[in-house]
Amino acid sequence: MSSTVVHGRVVPTGLYIDGAWRAGVKTFDVTDPATGKVIAEVADATGTEAVEALDAAAAAQDAWAAWAPRARADLFHAAHRLLTERAEDFAVVMTAESGKPLAESRAEFALSAGFFQWYAEQVAHLHGTYAHGSPGGYRIVTTHQPVGPSLLITPWNFPLLMSARKAGAALAAGCTAVMKSAQETPLTGALFVQTLHEAGFPAGVVNLLHTTTSPAISDAVMDDRRLRKISFTGSTGVGSHLLRKAAGNIVNASMELGGDGPFVVLADADVDLAVEQAIVCKFRNAGQACVAANRIILHSDVAAEFTEKFLARARELRVGNGFGEGVDVGPIISERQRDRVVRLVGRFRDQGAEVLLGGEPVDGPGSFFEPTVLRVDSRDRELCGEELFAPLAAIYTVASVREAVEFANDSDYGLAAYLFTRDVSRAVAIAEKLDFGMVGVNRGIMADPAAAFGGTKASGLGREGGHDGIYEFLEPKYLAITVD
Ligand code: NAD
């Protein structure tokens, strides 16, 4: 097994297919976005290896589906224990390749391990139903069977959480998996499948590909009738493309796509709480989160107080290398993405937005951008509705609750919305009107293993996490049994 050492942690660099690591014909570099330096070289899969991974997943499917629930649960518990022993390896490697502050990597690890633990607890509790046939004379027994070999595609912004959440649900349901990591963050996925291997997941049950040519991978396996499911997390554009491909073969598809989260603060809100939650919801992972606050929508009665306090807190944020002591905001994932942010701020300025803080890239090595706060009057849908994916807070002011709700819903996306008010009864009524898959009431962080995570409209199809997440990988089958 070829491997490399990243910040003192040994990480496999090959492709993991049919229970073994192998080199690729080519390799590609992994770069630390905080320094711009190459930290590893990993195997670069082609369509050929993708088909070999699917061969392995298809061959392992029936035996894996037949595992007794208790045995599968025990294996999940073993994997959870091993993951936990390696917590710091994961945190260090995640910070090295994604740039996020070490404290955030540790938090991501804790949540990811929590998903595995939660799935472990559910594996033995997946039930069917029993009913009388409508006209009598027979019984209806409904069971759930694994959909089958699944392609799991993850993004770079939460490399462990996305891997653990997807693979955990697929494997718990009895599906085998071909995982494809993001090109920017292959090392975390490698540590993850290595841990599953050591825990005892059988050969072929989980496979991992890294690549610089993602379309070659999806083209190779999505036209293959053995593939029964695609679960994708990433941009709406790529998700839409993959849905069209899935349509060709009628492949079951779950899509976790982009977001344009409104963060609504009403006149009766606890402003200090709203400010603290907005800081986390906006600047966590340098704003590169699908559930980040994209439009901070303030009722005019609290706009001045919120803005002043928010600016004071944003000024305190320390930007720097994620390994640095007390760093709050790491780099943007790449130079290319940082250039996009520079252009985005230019577009806001052109529309008359006032830059209250920051607004510029940070000089020196690495792709850093200043925490930025903009006051925006424009309602240009193309600009306001764009996913910022940056440490860029856009503040809007509204005159009424009704205007807040209308503006919140005026989006192509429908992933996460946030609502701050002291009136719980009003919060429920407004939450019902918000066309979003998730609504945080007086909180800016929502991911939880027991909760169904996902969105409406262009934010995707299906849910991850909770029981719904497992059922995304199961298909009902009903038996009609004659009973005299
Ligand atoms: P992206 O769509 O560019 O890439 C996501 C993944 O898809 C990567 O692994 C990439 O290599 C792969 N990919 C790209 N083209 C492909 C193709 N033709 N075939 C197969 N795979 C392909 O997105 P990104 O920029 O890496 O991630 C950011 C996006 O992800 C944002 O829009 C964000 O909102 C979204 N996201 C959504 C969630 C969610 O749960 N809803 C979570 C995290 C990120």
Ligand 1 center to residue 235 CA distance, Å? 4
pLDDT value at position 472? 97
Q: Is 281 part of the annotated catalytic residue set?
A: no
Q: Which atom of ligand 1 is nearest to the CA of 415?
A: 41
pLDDT of residue 426: 97
> pLDDT tens digit string along 347-377?
999 999 999 999 999 998 999 999 999 999 9
- pLDDT value for 484: 84
Query: How high is the pLDDT of residue 127?
Result: 86
Annotated catalytic, 290? Answer: yes
How many Å lie between the centroid of ligand 1 and the Cα of residue 238?
7
CA of 480 to the centre of ligand 1 (A): 42
Hey, which of 115, 211, 233, 438 would you mutate to test ligand 1's pocket, going by the most ligand atoms within 8 Å of its Cβ?
A: 233
Alpha helix stretches (DSSP H) within 157-256:
159-173, 186-199, 214-222, 236-249
Q: What integer pLDDT is reported at residue 49 of this predicted model?
A: 98
For ligand 1, whether the C-beta of 415 sits within 6 Å is yes
Domains (range + CATH), the chain: 3-257+459-478 (3.40.605.10), 261-441 (3.40.309.10)
Measure the CA angle with vertex 235, ends 154 and 394; round to 5°: 120
Instruction: Provide the pLDDT for residue 364.
Output: 84
Q: Is the CB of 183 under 6 A from ligand 1?
A: yes
Is the CB–ligand 1 distance for residue 214 below 6 Å?
yes
Question: Between the CA of residue 312 and those of 302, 306, 328, what are the distances in Å?
Answer: 16, 10, 15
185 lines ligand 1 (CB under 6 A): no
ipTM above 0.85, yes or no: yes
- Exposed, middle or buried by CB within 10 Å (0-12, 13-18, 19+), for 38? exposed
Q: Beta strand pairing status for 460-461 and 229-233? A: unpaired
Is 233 within 8 Å of 254 (Cβ atoms)? no
CA–centroid distance, residue 234 to ligand 1 (Å): 2
DSSP 3-state percent helix, strand, coil across the chain (nearest 5): 40, 25, 35
What are 77-108's pLDDT values in tens digits?
A: 999 999 999 999 999 999 999 999 999 999 99
Report which DSSP code applies to 7: T
Q: What is the pLDDT of residue 278?
A: 98
Ligand 1 site-directed mutation target among 98, 115, 150, 153, most atoms within 8 Å of CB: 153
DSSP assignment, residue 130?
A: E
pLDDT at 215: 97
Amino acid present at 406 = E
Sign of CA dihedral 21, 23, 28, 34: positive
Cβ(205)–Cβ(77) below 8 Å = no
Q: Which of 257, 294, 387, 413 to mutate to test the pocket of ligand 1 (most atoms within 8 A of CB)?
A: 257
Distance CA 350, CA 290 (A): 25
Q: Would the CB of 231 count as within 6 Å of ligand 1?
A: no
Ligand 1 close to Cβ of residue 260 (< 6 A): no
Ligand 1 center from residue 305 Cα (angstroms): 37
407 vs 135: CA distance, rounded Å: 51
- Cα 159 to chain centroid, rounded: 8
Hey, what are 77's tokens? 């518990």
* Average pLDDT along the chain: 97
What pLDDT is stored for residue 28 in this prediction? 98
Core vs surface per residue 55-74: b (16+ CB within 10 A) or e: bbbbebbeebeebeeeebbb
- With a cut of 50, list the residues of the chain below it in pLDDT: none
Whether residue 259 has its Cβ less than 6 Å from ligand 1 = yes
The count of other CB atoms within 10 Å of the CB of residue 190 is 26
Distance separating the N- and C-terminal Cα atoms of the chain: 61
Strand duo 206-209 + 177-180: pairing: parallel
For residue 447 and ligand 1, the question of a CB distance below 6 A is answered with no
Q: Is the CB of 235 under 6 A from ligand 1?
A: yes
| 155 CA to centre of ligand 1 in angstroms | 5
Q: Which of 46, 223, 290, 336 to mutate to test the pocket of ligand 1 (most atoms within 8 A of CB)?
A: 290
Of ligand 1's atoms, which has the minimum distance to the CA of residue 259? 34
Tell me, using a 6 A CB cutoff, whether residue 234 lines ligand 1. yes
Beta bridge partners, 264, equal 297, 419
Sign of CA dihedral 425, 429, 430, 435: positive
Q: What is the pLDDT of residue 238?
A: 98
pLDDT for 124 equals 84
Read off φ and ψ for residue 162, nearest 5 degrees: -65, -40
Residue 209 and residue 207: Cα distance in Å, rounded? 7
CA of 232 to the centre of ligand 1 (A): 7
Q: Which of 290, 370, 386, 387 is catalytic?
A: 290
